[in-house]
Structure 1
Amino acid sequence: MAEAGYFPGVIWYFTLWYVRKDQAFRMSIFFSAGILADAFGGILAYGIGQLDNKGGLTAWQWLFLLEGAPTVCLAILTFFFLADFPARAKWLNQCEKDLLADRLLRDADVIVDDGGDMSWEQIKSAFLDWQVLFYMLIYFSTVTPACGGIGGILSGFIYGIKNDSPYYRKGHVITLGFMCCALLLVLVFKFLLKRENSRRKSLTPEQFALEAVVSRFSDKHPRFRYIT
């Protein structure tokens, strides 16, 4: 539960610093980091497990110490050095801050609606929308196997029933192969999005103006936000 806000928080943090066309690359790196962590986390944990009863500590104590200590140290450093908003970044001068703020403002001007503050009725309608609920189900189904090692527990339970569990190396290599495919797909989609953005830049002024008109009149409709 303590990590529940981390992932969406990082995604939101990207929007404070990068325009939309630059967010895809940063998000692909972030997603890739998670995939690599899942891929090699098991190998690291397996190696640390060999320290069982070394130095008077059990395997799980070594695991918490060697993996937790760097995380805590990094969190402390992040608290002091990571700026929350560009306007508060100490390593940017005033000219750079103004330039970045202007880029973000011009980029957000396409989609921001200044019709007023968000109301409870809007929040209620979002949670009652079947598309939002369907996306929540997809995301829940994606992250649940990674919570608390549920995936490893279930796989061990299934192999226990069939009594044909593979050796650790073979089983982990198979899992690693799927994760490498996932990493590759993340990078492929990133380049596809970049290519699509480049194609849009080649539109004639008339085509771009027509698209802008359609977007302006359709942006407030929920269906437009889902399918574009």
Structure 2
Amino acid sequence: MAPFQFPPSGASDLSPTSDATANKEDREAGIIVDDNDVIDVAAEKKYDAHLSQLTLILNGYGARLLKQLDLRIIPALVAIFISVSVASESFGNSVILNASTGDSLLQVLHMTRRQFLAVASISLVSHALFPIPSNYMLKYFSPPSWLAFLALGSGVGLMIMAASQNYITLLFFRLLLSAFSIGTGPPGVVYFFTLYSCSSFYRSLRTSLILASLPLGAAFSGCIAYGVGLLNGIRGLEGWRWLFLIEGTPPCTLATLVYLFLPSYPENATWLSNDDHALAVRRMKQESSKSLGHDKITWDGAKSTLKNERLYLHYLLTVTFSVPEQSMWLFVPTIVSGLGYDGRDAQLLAVPPLAAAFIASVGLSAVADRYRAWSMCTLVSFVLAGTTFIVQGMSQCMRYAAFMTHYVLLCFASTFTFMPYASMLTWFTGNLRDTNGTTLAIPFNTIPSVVGQAIVYIYKPREALGYSTGLYTNGAVLLVGAACVQLLRWIYQRKNRYLDVGQHPWIV
């Protein structure tokens, strides 16, 4: 078969046609069909056969292009997410690391429980202020340059935290670290990924491979903390200082690789052939979210995005997800410790819940993409997670004899909590219509997660054997999120009933 050639970018058809055929199509485009016209059934069947053949050709070229994009982009983004996750989780691990010998972070810096909560929640400032400017910087500069800068800042910020001598310095360094980390988190990376991946090409599965790296990185951090505990006292440094130094090194190294090898926008991708370059751009133009790197952001478009009421339901859904998610990030080691294990054993037992979340997230995303059931998978996950938290909170026997029961419930709760993240974001981004919506709404969707930072105040030390307040809060919030999902499904179903001819349907 002859090589497939794309017409110029201004052409309206993707099929390879001669000039004569193109002129004929231009003349035919001017024909107006009314109710009195007779449809030629044979011609219609011939056109359908031609369209089917063209679809097969495009699918073949699309699969080849998709493989190139996957091999170039996904490993880089996964590496970024794992390194950022390891850096973020290190603070939670440092709280109980070597506590049995009096060398944990809280004990060395003589911090109170209230001061610890303040340091844990200081990142809400970064979540509120930096996602939107960071996305605009990512669009203004090239993605490799901006993401490499943020990765370098994350690594350096974490290593600087090892020099903390008191509560104030730790608070400042933690704020600095979160400012860099938020840009390399979901707002920036997911926005960049939407420029390459169409929702019709298994975006949820590919997004899950990236986002699920967050719990996977947290699991790695627990394993690293378990080993780093053995370095306590070497060269006069406590174990938590070694933890910050060791886990801050990979992001610095990764920054160089990101700058050199991460591709820019599809229209600027010099590593693609001319045909692949054209197909990559056309795939994005045919999506409901038609956002390309060179598209300009307008003030009118930004105002339209801010006034869109349905997006605020998505933001509320993010709030209901962020509350249990933040609790799993920060408090899995603490919860395990409260169930009867301390120190390095608690670090190790915090790994299975997060590793299970990675596997379940990828599996659910594959199902969601296969059946285009992103919202339904999100709904089911929210209900299961909320129910599991409530069941765990209802249990009255939280002693050592019942540890395995409650540990298993913790594993299920964390799994169901992280599972819908990729499907939820795919559903959200798939219903964004232009560059203004994509560039502004994705980081704006992250800002409500600052509410989730308040989760640190519902895990009360006096409830260490059960944390019933935290468990009931997580369960109730997740069930509210399930109600939001169902309401959004109804809204999109209703909007689809009133579509004009040629309008792209909303994803239900």
Using the size of structure 1 for normalisation, the TM-score is: 0.68
Q: 1:13 aligns with which of 192, 195, 200?
A: 192
For CA contacts below 8 A with separation 6 or more, give which structure has more relative contact order.
Answer: 1
CA distance in 2, matches of 1:50, 1:86: 47
CA RMSD of aligned residues (A): 3.6
Aligned residue number for residue 104 of structure 1: 284
Q: 1:52 aligns with which of 228, 232, 240?
A: 232
Larger radius of gyration: 2
The more displaced of 14-23 and 54-63 is 54-63
Equivalent pair of 1:17/1:86 in contact (CA under 8 Å): yes
Q: 3-state DSSP class of the match of 1:98?
A: helix
1:139 and 2:317 correspond: no
Equivalent pair of 2:228/2:243 in contact (CA under 8 Å): yes
Q: Deviation per CA, 1:116-175, whole angstroms, max 9, x where unpaired?
A: 84243641454994x23521321331443256x3x157537x83xxxx622557655654
Equivalent pair of 1:19/1:103 in contact (CA under 8 Å): yes
Q: 3-state DSSP class of the match of 1:118?
A: helix
Identity %: 24
Equivalent pair of 2:205/2:365 in contact (CA under 8 Å): yes
Structure 1 residue 16, shift from structure 2 partner: 0.8
- List gaps (5 residues or longer) in structure 1: 198-212
Distance 1:70-1:92 versus aligned 2 partners, 3 A rule: same
Distance 1:104-1:40 versus aligned 2 partners, 3 A rule: same
Equivalent pair of 1:25/1:190 in contact (CA under 8 Å): yes
Q: 1:76 aligns with which of 242, 256, 267?
A: 256
Q: 3-state DSSP class of the match of 2:284?
A: helix
Q: 3-state DSSP class of the match of 1:50?
A: helix
- List gaps (5 residues or longer) in structure 2: 1-125, 127-178, 292-297, 373-495
Aligned residue number for residue 471 of structure 2: none
Q: Mapping of 1:74-223 within 5 angstroms?
A: 74-106=254-286, 108=287, 110=288, 117-120=300-303, 122-126=305-309, 129=312, 131-145=313-327, 149=330, 151=331, 155=335, 159=338, 165-167=340-342, 171=346, 175-197=350-372, 214=497, 216-217=499-500
Q: 1:4 aligns with which of 166, 179, 182?
A: 182
CA distance in 1, matches of 2:234, 2:366: 47
Q: 3-state DSSP class of the match of 2:301?
A: coil
Distance 1:176-1:46 versus aligned 2 partners, 3 A rule: closer
CA distance in 1, matches of 2:284, 2:263: 16
Equivalent pair of 1:111/1:219 in contact (CA under 8 Å): no
Q: 3-state DSSP class of the match of 2:197?
A: coil
Distance 1:53-1:170 versus aligned 2 partners, 3 A rule: closer
Q: Deviation per CA, 1:78-123, whole angstroms, max 9, x where unpaired?
A: 12321220222232233321121122222x1x4559xx84243641
Question: Number of residue pairs matched?
Answer: 198
